[in-house]
Amino acid sequence: MVPPGVLKRVQDLLGPRGCLHRPEDLSLYEYDGGVDKHAPDIVAFPRSTEDVAALVRLAREFDVPFVGRGAGTGLSGGVIPREGGLMIAFARMNRILELDLENERAVVQPGVVNLDITLAVDASGYFYAPDPSSQRACTIGGNVAENAGGPHTLAYGVTTNHVLGLELVLPDGTITETGAKECDLPGYDLTGLFTGSEGTMVLVTKVIVRLVRKPELVKTCLAIYESSEHAGNTVTEITALAITPVAVEMLDGVMLRMVEEATHAGYPMDAQAVLLIELEGIREAVEEQVEHVRDACMVCGAREFRVARSAEERDLLWKGRKNAFGAVGRVSPTYYVQDGVVPRTQIAPTLRYIGEVAARRGVTISNIFHAGDGNMHPIILFNPRKPGDMEKARAAGEEILEWCIAVGGSITGEHGVGMEKMDLMPKQFSAETLDTMRALKLLFDPNDRLNPGKVLPTGRGCVEIRQAPLTSGAPVY
């Protein structure tokens, strides 16, 4: 519970409609897209950077934990207020402040929806490259916090490759800026440090992003397989050709059938796997690459290779991929999405291992992932009302992530560590590396008030939260 008087101070600052505090309202903010939940005590809706700074200073005055929140689409519990306290929600800071097409830049507030940037510049021939599957809902502030990726990460990189500057509020209420529209400023790369810090060091109140020109030609292809392993081997074969598609997405048979039933995107219901491959660039180069990719797919056992004949066909194929998580919701009441990374050469063995885990744990696991960069997204289906189901899903997820580490990969590619994976961090990093991370966190937030209980493992320091996983059962979106 927050100390008496905090609510009135928040209302005085933002007005009576500027915050929520009734239990029935707070329940809407107790979860994100993961499986854990815990309600805040107050949700505040600032409209300006000055409002955010005033809220942070208020939290400091009353020694109240606080956390920032965007759209709540994260998948690792990053915005769950583990200790309650004050949630600072950026839904009303949702304006595009500047479009500078001549210099290929945009300046936006953190509550701007990812896709809205592209829609704002589309007619001028530009787009914003990072494209999480939730891009119709997720916001730029959350993308910066999690260093979000997406299907086109393979060619364009993740959020940090497209963020040039930030306006920030530090945990003591100080407003500061890092980076700028210009590239390669002197000094420390604080923009890079804070991008991906999962909301544990600063609150972002303004973002300068890079815009990208549309390519001359885009070709979207669908390769169809009778074996997931053959599809996985194809990724290595394409890499050996020195061709870098902008996207290589894989759906296994379980997933593609759920997606096709929901979206009618044109995926074959009888296949065991498909690869969605996109190439773009200069017309002549793309047309030549399509044929090389076709050959690679057929050599690796594809039974069919299709090329979208129109923009409408291309959009339909991507509709299936982008709406995949929603399609799963039609089949299972809840599911647990994992986010491990493996080297591309380990995709086929990892798919085999995931199948073994599913059989051993007695759970259904479907696979949809960014095959081009080895970012695996096994989706573990379970029923939270069935005793033991949640525990089986968590155990299966942990086994898969430990496998990813063992074969030279990582416990996360884009979803972040949050509270979901922090106790796996010692298996990924040495004690010395974790101590360095901890020192950075405490440098900016010495009292551990900002988003406590995230990223770093528990039980290793006086300011760390020694808390078991929270009660689960929230729906996943």
What tens digit of pLDDT does each residue of 400-444 get?
Answer: 999 999 999 999 999 999 999 999 999 999 999 999 999 999 999
Record the pTM: 0.93
Measured from the Cβ of residue 365, the count of other Cβ atoms closer than 10 Å reads: 24
Give the model confidence (pLDDT) of 320-348 as tens digits: 898 888 889 888 889 999 999 999 999 99
Class of the CATH-defined domain 96-213: alpha beta
42-44 and 86-89 strand pairing: parallel
Write down the pLDDT at residue 183: 84
Percent with pLDDT over 90 in the chain? 89
Q: Residue 224: which H helix or E strand, with range?
A: strand 217-225
Q: Where are the domains of the chain?
A: 96-213, 217-314, 332-406
Distance CA 236, CA 247 (A): 14
Give the model confidence (pLDDT) of 95-129 as tens digits: 999 999 999 999 999 999 999 999 999 999 999 99
CA distances for 419 relative to 28, 194, 448, 469, angstroms:
19, 18, 15, 8
Residue 162: which residues within 8 A CB-CB, separation 6 or more? 128, 129, 130, 156, 209, 210, 212
Query: Is residue 463 very low, low, confident or very high in pLDDT (cuts 50, 70, 90)?
Result: very low
CATH fold of 332-406: Alpha-Beta Plaits (3.30.70)
Q: Is the pLDDT of residue 303 over 80?
A: yes
Provide the mean pLDDT of the chain. 93
User: Between residues 464 and 58, which one has the greater pLDDT?
Assistant: 58
CA distances for 429 relative to 75, 126, 267, 391, 400, angstroms:
22, 39, 40, 25, 17
Query: Is residue 476 very low, low, confident or very high in pLDDT (cuts 50, 70, 90)?
Result: very low
Query: Is residue 459 very low, low, confident or very high in pLDDT (cuts 50, 70, 90)?
Result: low
**Does domain 217-314 fall into CATH 3.30.70.2190?**
yes
Do 217-314 and 332-406 come out as alike in CATH topology? yes
19-28, 137-146, 254-263, 451-460: range with lowest mean pLDDT: 451-460
Q: Residue 280: which H helix or E strand, with range?
A: strand 273-281
The DSSP secondary-structure symbol of 100 reads: E
